[in-house]
Amino acid sequence: MPSIDMPLDELRKYKPALTRQHDFAAFWKKGLESLRREPVSVNLSVKPLPFKGIDVYELNYIGAGGALITGELLAPQGAAKAPGVVVYHGYSGARNPAHTVVHWTAMGAVVLSVDVRGQRGGASDNAAYPGPRSPGFMTAGLEDPKTYYYRNVYLDSVRALDVLAGRDEVDPAKLAVTGISQGGGLSLAAAALDERVALCMSEVPFLCDFPRAASISGENPYREISGYLRRCGQEEIARTFQTLSYFDNVNLAGMIRARTIISVGLWDAICPPSGIFAAYNHLACRKQIEVYPYMGHESNTAFTELCMREMAREFGL
């Protein structure tokens, strides 16, 4: 599908005003404090896979609000103070299986591939979501940021870093995050909320510039928001986007201190390029955006290889 968005020269300048609420920083400070009071309680079991020189484990641990989060851990045998990489997955999916993330381990890194609560993987979601909602996750608990679905998801993304940094074989000064779509958005959010992240590699990220994305994308997941708002008046629409503002990576971007690499496809009808550029243009860290003029919402081998080279350079591999 051809681009429905701005020309590239306009995208490079697109920097919408922040929509942070007055208590934005306090909201996330309180959320992180509540997470720190939760025990991590990691449980591992060996997953027998025919890899040479790599140990693979199934694991679970306690996420935000006591939910049980699941995933897989890959570690080079004999690793000591190795870099660590958290891999977050796309919307409504499940963890990236071991054979799809083993390239990071082949570089010498310990990898944690995690499930997002309540989606297709094994992670549970024990939260209650009051109020009306449309099918999917985008409108669950949307009437209040404290009850919105992505509050706990973002905190779970930080908890994954707690798990990885707590491993003896991992150097907590060399932590990276990566993922595609929702995973790319969670990578940005985790890097904003956790200063331990040294490298953020975000592929065609979701969860960026909700007001514009919901108004121009006719595809899910943003269509879940526009569908929910179809029969709403201006007051309810404004209240909805006020809640979403706490989770918009445009508002979180300025908090990121990690080296950040982002990809964008100019034919992406699912996560519009303008939303991705909006977050990118608000970054104040060392940053890089890779533009693929004829790519839609998809993974790109060239971007993966670029990220591998950048991680090797950043962490001295």
Which residues carry out catalysis?
A: 181, 268, 297
Handedness of CA 300, 301, 306, 312 (dihedral sign): positive
| First-residue to last-residue Cα distance in the chain | 39
Q: Which residue in 266, 294, 255 sits closest to 14, CA to CA? A: 266
